[in-house]
Chains A and B, each alone.
Chain A
Amino acid sequence: MTEVLYTRPEIVRGDGKTNFLQVEKTLSVFERIYRIGAVRKAFILFVLAAAWEIYGRWLGNPLLFPSFSQTFAAFSSNIADGTIPARALASIKTLLIGYGIGIVLASLLTTLAIGSRIGADLLETLTSMFNPLPAIALLPLALIWFGLGQGSVIFVLVHSVLWAIALNTHAGFRSVSNTMRMVGLNYGLRGLKLVRHILIPAAFPSILTGLKVGWAFAWRTLIAAELVFGVSSGSGGLGWFIFENRNQLETANVFAGLFTVILIGLAVENLIFATVEKKTIRRWGMQA
């Protein structure tokens, strides 16, 4: 056991900075473009459209599988003559009514749930019962209760939205940190004021998730419900448009209808919800 001790010299550097190192360097043009998410996604969409076009032409059967250009032509002519916009508007109107009622009911339920133990039990029981039940399965019942029309569609829409929003909002409220609640109490906030000023903003990431999931459920349910009957007061929605055109073997129009469904879904997700997200929880650092 021999220990060798070196006396090593101390090193103290002066303040002078070495300047042969570039601290900040701009990226190359390609790299900068590649970093934009929209560009990458647009590229993927372009490749998919090209594949679709090639397959459609190779198959050569527009009755079965119209190509991208045929679909696009049908889509633009239907937009030009106002058919698709009118149908989409009819769908969206119904959707918004159902979505709105769903949000109101969900807020009532969750307010009840954070207010009392029994309210929380009620919400938990109801959501665990009804959440797994596909909204469309209620349609036959809705037809008996509300008849063939908008009422039935709105009923199933509310069902599809309500539980997703209530479940997420309630989970969000429960996950608000104890410290944050104590801060609110410290300010002298109680009851509904505490909910409004502390709990809702603090649970906003979960609430937004609930709204997004609710929207997706509602949109799917709506199209499906319209496919089943959809025709109310003369002009139905997009689902009915798809169904009608299938009956007339206008397959390109069916594709155009589906395309519109996708487009609206994407627009809401990427424009509306993404903007809300950026302006709120991203800005607040509550979501990476």
Chain B
Amino acid sequence: MTLHQFVDARSALLSVEGVTLQYKTEDALVTATHRVDFQVFQSDRFVLLGPSGCGKSTLLKAIGGYLSPTEGQIKLKGKEVTEPGPDRMMVFQEFDQLLPWKTVGENVVFALTASGRAKPAEARERARSYIDKVGLTKFIDSYPHMLSGGMKQRVAIARGMAMEPDVLLMDEPFAALDALTRRKMQDELLQLWDDTHFTVLFVTHSIEEAIRIGTRILLLSPHPGQVKAELNSISPSELGTGAQAALETRINDMLFAS
């Protein structure tokens, strides 16, 4: 992990400092996370991993700017996050994140023009190149309802990447896919990353996925979510070797040790 040897010398792209998140339900105030700290650096594939109830999705939403911490702060490039914005593009788990009244191409173009990230002509150009990258050139004029779940997620990823955000936030984007498609999408994501080395913050509850996707893994314990450990993942070349199995066992032990 040569990338991470000198990280301390650099300043963090995204820093989460002592963040406590709470939300209200009908009759209770629920603490989702308690004083969570971590830092994400440029070109990290940072994974938030934990069982359900550890507040990882809530944490991602807070970084997205959809809810504000009751304690602590979230800073992107030194500036505090206060509201959602195109510098932190979200890829959701739900398939309905694409606008059904726009074609695949229009969905990406609209994201770019509506947010003011690009002028219409440039937006079309960029949309085409990113849709090409996820291998959906043939479907650029199709409406989302004509696509399979995996293709919809690819479009959402293309849209997120076309925006060229500071950090791409992915909230269990492959969780609703079947196992074979999920595996393929993971490999594709890694290939895309090889191209541009974008920074991605990825939420998952699958240990295997975390090891496959991440360069750095943050383990969270549930009720309320607290940082249990922050580990380095293995390099893709070590996948399928004993190193992967060892890390899996290590994470497993940490998550289920009580």
* Residues on A facing B (Cβ under 8 Å): 177, 179-180, 182-183, 185-189, 193, 197-198, 201-202, 204, 280, 283-286
B96 touches A180 (CB 8 A): yes
Q: How many residue-residue contacts, CB under 8 A, span A and B?
A: 66
Q: Report yes or no: B86 in contact with A283, Cβ–Cβ below 8 A.
A: no
Decide if B211 is an interface residue (CB 8 Å cutoff).
no
Query: Is A284 in contact with B86, judged by CB distance below 8 angstroms?
Result: no
A202 to B101 CA separation, bound complex (whole angstroms):
8
B143 to chain A, nearest CB (A): 6
Q: Which 6 A-B pairs have the closest CB atoms?
A: A285-B145, A185-B84, A187-B115, A187-B114, A284-B100, A179-B94
The closest CB in chain B to the CB of A183 belongs to B97
Does B23 reach chain A (CB closer than 8 Å)?
no
Task: State whether A204 and B114 are in contact (beta carbons under 8 Å apart), knowing that A177-B94, A179-B96 are contacts in the complex.
Answer: no
CA of A167 to CA of B64 in the docked complex: distance in angstroms?
A: 33
Q: Are A180 and B101 in contact (CB under 8 A)?
A: no
A197-B114, A285-B146 known; A186+B85 contact, CB < 8 A: yes
Do A180 and B90 touch (CB < 8 A)? no
Instruction: Give the interface centre of B94, B114, B115 by most chain A CB atoms within 10 Å.
Output: B114
Please state if A185 and B66 are interface contacts (CB–CB under 8 Å): yes
B118 beta carbon closer than 8 Å to chain A: no
Interface contact A283-B143, CB-CB below 8 Å? yes
- Nearest B-chain residue to A198, judged by Cβ: B99
Q: A284-B101, A285-B144, A285-B145 given as contacts; is B96 within 8 A of A188 (CB)? A: no
> With A188-B115, A285-B146 in contact, do A179 and B100 touch (Cβ < 8 Å)?
no
Beyond A180-B96, A188-B85, A285-B144, whether A280 also contacts B90 by CB under 8 A is no
Residue among A189, A193, A283, A284 with the highest chain B CB neighbour number at 10 A: A284
**Bound: A187/B110 CA distance, A:** 9
Min distance, Cβ A253 to any Cβ of chain B, angstroms: 46
CB distance from A206 to the nearest CB of B (A): 14
Minimum CB–CB distance from A220 to chain B (whole Å) comes to 31
Q: What residues of chain A lie closer than 8 Å to B78, measured between beta carbons? A: none
Chain A residues, Cβ within 8 Å of B96: 177, 179-180
Q: In whole Å, how far is B17's beta carbon from the nearest beta carbon of chain A?
A: 23
Known: A182-B66, A197-B114. A187 touches B86 (CB 8 A): yes
Query: Is the CB of B162 closer than 8 A to any CB of chain A?
Result: no
Most buried by A among B84, B111, B116: B84
Bound-state Cα–Cα, A193 to B143, Å: 23
Across the interface, do A280 and B84 meet the contact criterion of CB distance under 8 Å? no
Q: Is B92 an interface residue (CB 8 A)?
A: yes
A-B contact pairs, 8 of them (CB 8 A): A179-B97, A180-B96, A182-B90, A183-B90, A186-B89, A187-B110, A189-B115, A284-B101
| A201 touches which of B65, B94, B101 (Cβ 8 Å) | B101
Nearest opposing residue in chain B for A197, CB measure: B114
Tell me whether A182 and B145 are in contact (CB under 8 A): no
Complex-state Cα separation, A73 to B188, whole angstroms: 71
Residues of A within 8 A of B97 (CB): 179-180, 183
Nearest chain B CB to A276's CB is how many angstroms away?
A: 13
Q: If A187-B86, A188-B115, A285-B143 touch, does A201 touch B99 (CB 8 Å cutoff)?
A: yes
> Could you tell me if B114 and A182 are in contact, using CB atoms closer than 8 angstroms?
no
Bound-state Cα–Cα, A177 to B100, Å: 12
Q: Compute how far the CA of A248 lies from the CA of B116 in the bound complex, rounded to whole angstroms.
A: 68
Q: Please indicate the chain A residues that have their CB under 8 angstroms from the CB of B89 in the complex.
A: 186
B88: chain A residues at CB < 8 Å are 186
Query: In the complex where A285-B143, A285-B145 touch, is A182 in contact with B111 (Cβ < 8 A)?
Result: no
